[in-house]
Structure 1
Amino acid sequence: MFRGPAGLNGLNILTNEVEARAWIGEALAPTPEQWGRLERFAAMLVEENTQQNLVAASTIPTIWARHIADSAQLLAFDKDGEGLWIDLGSGPGLPGVVVAILSERPMLLVESRRRRCDFLRAVTAELGLAHVEVAEARLETLDTRAAATISARAFAPLDRLLDLSARFSTESTRWLLPKGRNAVKELALLPPAWQTLFHVEQSRTDVDSQILVGTGRIGSKKRGKR
């Protein structure tokens, strides 16, 4: 069905809106209610983007491929997961809102910018996402809580991201970190004990992008221990 260019391990890339919607339907089987929420979220994102720069304007015509499917693909790496999902630097709710719509996992959206948090609160209220909490704060100021899954689409360089979020991780925490074309390079710069937690997966929405997927607790960087 999907005939885009082949990425890592020959995985075909979603190149247009038709393919993106078809893949979401095939891989994640949304209910009619979930489809409706995705449609409304996409529309709200487009509308709000005229008021504040949430995503690049050039990506709006391919919003389903570049943003909705790009976010939804993370669930394929944690489809049977349960428990709190923390989305760092959630911005306009990517991937956090999309994941919350499709999985109904308890979701904490961490975002420090007030206007983006206002948008996130408007989205969660309109879509009836009672299982989503918006934390308008810097990650450093949040109370520690155990995360079953941690995601971050465009939050910080990998080393700093892990250092800041280590206290939220447990031995079973799932890490889902889209890192673009620099994934392998950033991974190689980590302490060896951290490197062993992760492997690289191909993004379904960009032949040049990759996702770092890992499981485990991030320990002390200075001691090099897990």
Structure 2
Amino acid sequence: MPSDFELPDVSRETSARLTAFSDLLIKWNRTINLVSKSQINDLKTRHVDDSLQLLPHIPSDAKVLTDIGSGGGFPGIVLAIAKAETQPSLHFQLIESDQRKAAFLRTAVCTLSLNATVFCERIEQTTAEPADCMTARALAPLSNLLAFASGLMVPEGTAILPKGRHFETELEDAQKAWHFRHQIYPSLTDSDGQVIVVKDIRRA
């Protein structure tokens, strides 16, 4: 792993907001399954840090970022918190079809004063505007994510997609249906994981 590839530092204020978000999630998790109970004690590494590692890949000139299948707010809410200071004009669109999870996301956005909008809609039917960037975590195979990205992003958009141990198989399958440029980075939180950054997506 390159020595300069490490988790980005965050300010004291951002750290405090991340803690406030984690506390809110733990409270809601008692009644809504936002993250598994087995992972709640490892929330920082398994979910917060895993989301923060996507920050360096967000284009500095991006104006809109869409996070699909936002669930418990990973990575969408975490990235919105981190970008509130460094890229405050970046607007986040969080797409989550589950009404209870969407209610949690709206509460987090309001409580933490984030530049974000929650869409309680199916990805295929969303009314979100075309985005410059898209993220998705633990949602679907890469080929499916590229299909979503092609419909949700502007043509020059960037998709940032953390993937697990079956990444190579997913990549081979995706290349049968799609043409795209991509770069692969080692995950900082999962020894079997990678982060794939994809651009110029079009059907094969």
Residue in 1 that maps onto 2:64: 84
Larger strand proportion, structure 1 or 2? 2
Partner of 1:136: 120
Count of residues in correspondence between the two structures:
199
Cα distance in 2 for partners of 1:195, 1:211 equals: 18
The answer to whether the Cα contact below 8 Å between 1:144 and 1:167 also exists between their aligned partners in 2 is no
Q: Point out the structure with max Rg over C-alpha.
A: 1
C-alpha RMSD over aligned residues: 2.2
* Deviation of the 1:195 alpha carbon: 5.2
CA distance in 2, matches of 1:11, 1:50: 39
Equivalent residue number for residue 29 of structure 1: 10
Deviation of 1:165 (Å): 3.0
**Matches of 2:195 and 2:17 in 1, distance apart?**
26
Residue 191 of structure 1: CA displacement?
3.1
Answer yes or no: is 1:94 the counterpart of 2:106. no
Q: Which residue of 1 aligns with 2:54?
A: 74
Matches within 5 A, 1:171-190: 171-190=155-174
Q: Find the residue that maps to 1:28 and give its secondary structure.
A: coil
Decide whether the 8 Å contact of 1:202 with 1:209 is kept in 2. yes
Provide the TM-score with structure 1 as the length reference.
0.80
Q: Is the 8 A contact 1:177 1:211 kept in 2?
A: yes
The 1-side partners of 2:156 and 2:22 are apart by 32
**Is 1:112 equivalent to 2:97 in the alignment?**
yes
1:124 matched to which residue of 2?
Answer: 109
Q: Is residue 199–residue 214 contact of structure 1 (8 Å, CA) maintained in 2?
A: yes
Which of 146, 159, 162 is matched with 2:143 structurally? 159
Is the CA contact 1:188–1:195 (under 8 Å) kept in the aligned structure 2? no
Unaligned runs of 5+ in 2: 85-89
Task: Tell me, yes or no, if structure 1 residue 210 matches structure 2 residue 194.
Answer: yes
Separation in 2 of the partners of 1:77 and 1:194? 21
In structure 2, distance between residues paired with 1:83 and 1:145: 11
Q: Is it true that 1:57 corresponds to 2:40 in the alignment?
A: no
CA distance in 2, matches of 1:12, 1:64: 21
- Asked if structure 1 preserves the Cα contact closer than 8 Å seen for 2:163 and 2:196, the reply is yes
Counterpart pick for 2:133 among 149, 170, 183: 149
Offset of residue 66 of structure 1: 0.8
Task: Summarize the Cα distance change of 1:43–1:79 in structure 2 as closer, same or farther, 3 Å threshold.
Answer: farther
State the distance in 1 between where 2:187 and 2:147 align.
Answer: 24
> Can you give the 5+ residue segments of structure 1 that lack an aligned partner in the other structure?
1-8, 14-22
Q: 1:207 to 1:136 in 2, by over 3 A?
A: same
Distance in 2 between the 1:100 and 1:144 partners?
16
The answer for the alignment partner of 1:198 in structure 2 is 182
Deviation of the 1:196 alpha carbon: 3.9
* Alpha-carbon offset, residue 146 of structure 1: 2.3
Matches of 2:164 and 2:4 in 1, distance apart? 17
SS of the aligned residue for 2:178 comes to helix
